[in-house]
């Protein structure tokens, strides 16, 4: 499973191809997309989103979902900022305590889902509200701004002497670690086994409960890391902040080839999907597309890619349209492309 | 087999993205033709609501006088992250100035500072950013003007005598707190000495449902009041509906800050005689004049600097880099049809 072919499967190749086409078209028509300023600011503004997406991916691979990540982000942001501003705790100590809290938030989700045998959607819908609610109790509608320069440097400055933001470097490191954990360890294999067939995984001797809880803990931890990035980049902590990042993050995971039913997907796929979505947004924005236009474009991309793949996997397409497959027709070709996401 | 499928997948992906991409040159063409012109970008909190469209029109009309090209766009929902995307795109696209109404003042400021470091000028309007992120802020009208206008609208209808209630928004809304405290202070003036503020009601949220509920309980609890001031567009419309449904329009005077399109029904039926709001078109026009002054170096944000704005005359930068666009606009049956927002 950890073979090179698995990591760079066909789905990812398709995503890279789409990305390249977007870049080429945008560059031919006026450029600006691949300018140093645009790449810097676009990548910075997507660090939080990708961090959330990376964290959510393992949970989705096990067939669960965690939508409380933005609640955790809000809570950890408020908690860390408040420790620093109101209790005189050093910012980095506060950040580490924040990450601890984030992991606890994830474990709480996991325990509720596993021990009470509740649907993860219902549980994390509840905890999303609860975590966000506590962040409102902590900050009471006020904002904390002007964090110490060390945090702002992490969030928004470049590596000395290069045009590369520090946040992006840290994110790449987190990506590498997570890729190893998911695709190079027994724990990672367990994620896919549980997502594929939970009962079979149990009979195969996998500690299903521990693995599922750990996946939620990872999700929480990454939401906490996203919160620290948020404080550093936007230099602001406020309750309910970044609540709009939930759907884009889940979009990146699903477009990245992680099946919403669990059992398949790769972390590199999620990363490429994140880059694709960021570049698509930037290209459309640069060319004067409205917010509505951008939302529609991302929606179309997702429906074509994921909807098509799902149709072909379930065989619905062939039942609905039992014509002898004319392989040259573009409609079939698109569906085929999407179908390769089965992993 | 595997190779073939891969190849097909790649071709299909190309076809799909080409489909998405074909629209790019077509729409991008309009901006490319104006390459020689200075382009400016107006970024509202979110698109699709009339006040910002009005501000855009006001600014666009004025921009023709200066020869600027004004682009307009923004997120579809309130999102600081999305606003930052638009800020970044505007800078990368080579726009020379950004007008912004901030969704979250602090969160968009670092991105604006990066834009400023890149030579882009920033003018905020409607909802300010942190002072570090802009040169000047254009407010639609002053808090003083709002408080005074509210009291005059109510007073003129009740003979400047009798008690009233303020149906406000959440207790944390800084604008509301400021306006209401100015109303309280103004009541000590001789003109308003016979008017008495019974209480200020703060619903727990900004929903129409809450405003309706609180309006109903105000009428039950304080039946002897002469009127209600609702300084939020949500509450004034909800309160008007309550009065109309309970057939109490002739018994109580309702006024406040309202959205003309929302209030049309109640003004036409005579339930509400007067309400006010600032003029978003004027706000946009003055913002464009301010941007021109900033781009040409006349204004750098210092207190006391001034700039002219066509027939609207001279505007002075007040403390904190704030410029007031004009007095509050009072709406009644007579002038309502002139305003489309």
The domain segmentation of chain B, as residue ranges, is 34-140+280-326, 143-277
- Tell me the percentage of chain A whose pLDDT exceeds 90: 65
CA distance B227 to B254: 6
Give the number of A-B residue pairs with CB atoms closer than 8 Å.
Answer: 186
Structure-block tokens of residue A232: 């550093």
Element (H, E) at A160: none
CA distance B300 to A256: 47
Structure-block tokens of residue B254: 């309702």
How near does any CA of chain B get to the CA of A100, in Å?
25
CA distance A76 to A84: 12
Contact A22 B104 (CB under 8 A): no
Spatial contact of B282 and B312, defined as CB atoms under 8 Å apart: yes
Which architecture does CATH list for B143-277? Answer: 3-Layer(aba) Sandwich (3.40)
One DSSP character per residue, B233-248 reads HHHHHHHHHHHHHTT-
Q: What is the reported pTM?
A: 0.79
Q: Who among B10, B18, B85 is closest to A285 (CB)?
A: B85
User: Whose structure tokens read 């003029």?
Assistant: B279
The answer to which of A94-98, A306-310, B60-64, B268-272 has the lowest mean pLDDT is A306-310
Confidence of residue A142 (pLDDT cuts 50, 70, 90): confident
Contact A22 B27 (CB under 8 A): no
Instruction: Tell me how far CA of residue A244 lies from CA of A134, A136, A216, B71, in angstroms.
Output: 18, 16, 21, 25
Q: Helix %, strand %, coil % for chain A, to 5?
A: 75, 0, 25
A14 pLDDT above the threshold of 60? yes
> How many residues would you count in chain A?
343
CA distance B330 to B129: 27
Spatial contact of A245 and B81, defined as CB atoms under 8 Å apart: yes
A102 burial level (CB within 10 Å; 0-12, 13-18, 19+): buried
Structure-block tokens of residue B176: 């509301």
What is the residue-averaged pLDDT of chain A? 87
What is the sign, positive or negative, of the torsion defined by CA atoms of A270, A275, A276, A278? positive
Name the DSSP class of B172. Answer: T
Contact A10 B76 (CB under 8 A): no
**Stretch A163-182: mean pLDDT:** 96
Domain boundaries, chain A: 48-246+261-266
A311 pLDDT above the threshold of 70? no
| pLDDT score at B340 | 61
Confidence of residue A15 (pLDDT cuts 50, 70, 90): confident
CA A100 to chain centre: 20
CA B340 to chain centre: 15
Spatial contact of B124 and B102, defined as CB atoms under 8 Å apart: yes
Could you state, in chain order, the average pLDDT of each consecutive group of 10 residues for chain B (341 residues)? Answer: 44 45 40 62 88 92 94 88 93 94 90 95 94 95 93 96 93 83 95 95 87 95 96 94 94 94 92 93 95 96 94 93 93 81 57
Q: CB-based contacts of A316: which residues, under 8 Å, 6+ apart? A: none
How near does any CA of chain B get to the CA of A281, in Å?
8
Task: Give the end-to-end CA distance of chain A in Å, rounded to a whole number.
Answer: 10
CA distance B338 to B341: 9
A143 pLDDT above the threshold of 70? yes
Residue B100, beta-bridge partner list: B43, B124
Q: Which residues of B touch A255 (CB under 8 A)?
A: none
CA distance A222 to A56: 8
Q: Which residues of A touch B75 (CB under 8 A)?
A: 291
Q: Which residues of B touch A48 (CB under 8 A)?
A: 81
3-state secondary structure (DSSP) of residue B70 = strand
Q: Which residues of A touch B129 (CB under 8 A)?
A: none
Strands B306-308 and B314-316: antiparallel
Instruction: Tell me how far CA of residue B251 lies from CA of A73, B166, B198, B341, in angstroms.
Output: 50, 17, 17, 29
ipTM at complex level? 0.79
Spatial contact of A57 and A67, defined as CB atoms under 8 Å apart: no
Mutation site, A47, A156, A280, A333, interface B, largest B CB count within 10 A: A333
Q: Which residues of A touch B94 (CB under 8 A)?
A: 32
Contact A244 B77 (CB under 8 A): yes
What is the sign, positive or negative, of the torsion defined by CA atoms of B106, B110, B111, B112? positive
In B82-120, beta strands by DSSP E: 97-100
Most confident of A24-33, A222-231, A240-249, B260-269: A222-231
CA distance B261 to B249: 19
CA distance A266 to A249: 15
CA distance B70 to B292: 12
Element (H, E) at A294: helix A291-302
Same fold yes or no, B34-140+280-326 and B143-277: yes
CA distance A109 to A217: 8
Answer CATH for B34-140+280-326 from 3.40.190.80, 3.40.640.10, 3.40.50.150, 3.40.50.2300 = 3.40.50.2300
CA distance A328 to B139: 60
Contact B20 A300 (CB under 8 A): yes
CA distance B52 to B75: 12
Contact B24 A284 (CB under 8 A): yes
B2 burial level (CB within 10 Å; 0-12, 13-18, 19+): exposed
Helix ranges restricted to H, A45-90: 47-61, 69-87
Q: Who among A38, A235, A336 is closest to B88 (CB)?
A: A38
User: Whose structure tokens read 């149906």?
Assistant: B167
**Higher local confidence (pLDDT), A29 or B110:** B110
| pLDDT score at B236 | 96
Confidence of residue A315 (pLDDT cuts 50, 70, 90): low
The answer to which of A51-65, A70-84, A104-118, A301-315 has the lowest mean pLDDT is A301-315
Contact B92 A33 (CB under 8 A): yes
Spatial contact of B239 and B176, defined as CB atoms under 8 Å apart: no
Instruction: Tell me how far CA of residue A253 lies from CA of A56, A275, B30, in angstroms.
Output: 7, 12, 35
User: Whose structure tokens read 């950004």?
Assistant: B98
How near does any CA of chain B get to the CA of A194, in Å?
27
Q: Who among A13, A25, A233 is closest to B21 (CB)?
A: A25
């Amino acid at each position: 499973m950890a073979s090179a072919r698995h990591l760079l499967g066909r789905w990812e190749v398709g995503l890279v191809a789409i990305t390249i086409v977007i870049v080429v078209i945008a560059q031919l028509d006026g450029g600006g997309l691949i300018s140093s300023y645009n790449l810097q600011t676009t990548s910075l503004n997507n660090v939080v989103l990708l961090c959330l997406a990376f964290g959510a991916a393992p949970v989705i691979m096990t067939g669960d979902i965690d939508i409380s990540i933005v609640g955790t982000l809000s809570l950890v942001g408020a908690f860390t900022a408040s420790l620093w501003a109101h209790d005189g705790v050093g910012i980095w100590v506060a950040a580490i305590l924040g990450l601890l809290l984030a992991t606890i938030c994830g474990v709480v989700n996991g325990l509720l889902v596993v021990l009470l045998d509740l649907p993860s959607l219902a549980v994390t819908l509840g905890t999303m509200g609860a975590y966000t609610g506590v962040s409102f109790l902590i900050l009471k509608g006020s904002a904390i701004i002007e964090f110490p320069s060390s945090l702002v440097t992490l969030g928004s400055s470049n590596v000395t002497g290069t045009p590369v933001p520090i946040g992006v470097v840290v994110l790449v490191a987190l990506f590498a670690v997570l890729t190893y954990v998911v695709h190079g360890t027994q724990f990672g294999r367990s994620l896919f086994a549980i997502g594929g067939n939970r009962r079979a995984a149990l009979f195969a001797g996998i500690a299903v409960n521990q693995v599922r809880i750990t996946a939620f803990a990872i999700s929480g931890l990454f939401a906490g890391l996203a919160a620290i990035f948020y404080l550093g980049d936007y230099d602001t902590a406020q309750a309910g902040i970044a609540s709009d990042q939930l759907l884009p993050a889940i979009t990146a995971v699903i477009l990245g080839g992680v099946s919403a039913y669990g059992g398949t997907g790769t972390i590199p796929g999620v990363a490429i999907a994140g880059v694709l979505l960021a570049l698509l947004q930037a290209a459309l924005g640069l060319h004067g597309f409205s917010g509505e236009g951008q939302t529609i474009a991302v929606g179309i991309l997702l429906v074509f890619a994921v909807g098509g793949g799902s149709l072909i996997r379930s065989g619905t397409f062939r039942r609905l349209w039992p014509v002898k497959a004319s392989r040259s027709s573009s409609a079939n070709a698109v569906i085929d492309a999407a179908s390769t996401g089965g992993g | 087999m595997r190779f073939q499928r891969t190849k097909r997948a790649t071709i299909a992906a190309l076809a799909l993205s080409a489909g998405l991409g074909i629209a790019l040159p077509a729409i991008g063409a309009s901006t490319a033709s104006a390459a020689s012109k200075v382009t400016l970008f107006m970024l509202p909190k979110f698109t699709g609501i009339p006040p910002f469209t009005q501000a855009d029109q006001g600014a666009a009309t004025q921009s023709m006088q200066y020869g600027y090209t004004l682009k307009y766009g923004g997120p579809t929902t309130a999102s600081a992250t999305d606003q930052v995307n638009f800020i970044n795109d505007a800078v990368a696209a080579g726009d020379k100035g950004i007008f912004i109404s901030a969704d979250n003042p602090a969160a968009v400021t670092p991105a604006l500072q990066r834009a400023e470091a890149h030579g882009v000028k920033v003018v905020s309007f409607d909802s300010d950013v942190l002072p570090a992120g802009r040169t000047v802020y254009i407010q639609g009208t002053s808090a003083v003007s709002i408080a005074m206008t509210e009291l005059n609208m109510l007073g003129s209808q009740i003979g400047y005598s009798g008690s009233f209630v303020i149906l406000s928004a959440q207790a944390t809304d800084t604008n509301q707190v400021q306006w209401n405290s100015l109303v309280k202070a103004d009541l000590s003036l001789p003109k308003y000495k016979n008017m008495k503020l019974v209480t200020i009601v703060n619903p727990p949220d900004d929903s129409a449902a809450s405003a309706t509920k609180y309006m109903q309980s105000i009428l039950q609890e304080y039946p002897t009041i002469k009127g209600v001031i609702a300084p939020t567009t949500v509450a004034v419309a909800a309160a008007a509906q309550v009065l109309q449904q309970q057939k109490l329009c002739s018994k109580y005077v309702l006024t406040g800050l309202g959205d003309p399109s929302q209030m049309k029904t109640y003004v036409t039926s005579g339930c509400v005689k007067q309400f006010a709001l600032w003029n978003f078109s004027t706000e946009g026009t003055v913002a464009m004049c301010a941007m021109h002054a900033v781009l040409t170096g006349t204004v750098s944000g210092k207190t006391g600097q001034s700039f002219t704005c066509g027939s609207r005359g001279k505007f002075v930068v007040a403390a904190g880099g704030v410029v007031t666009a004009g007095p509050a606009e009072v709406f009644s049956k007579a002038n309502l049809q002139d305003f489309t927002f």
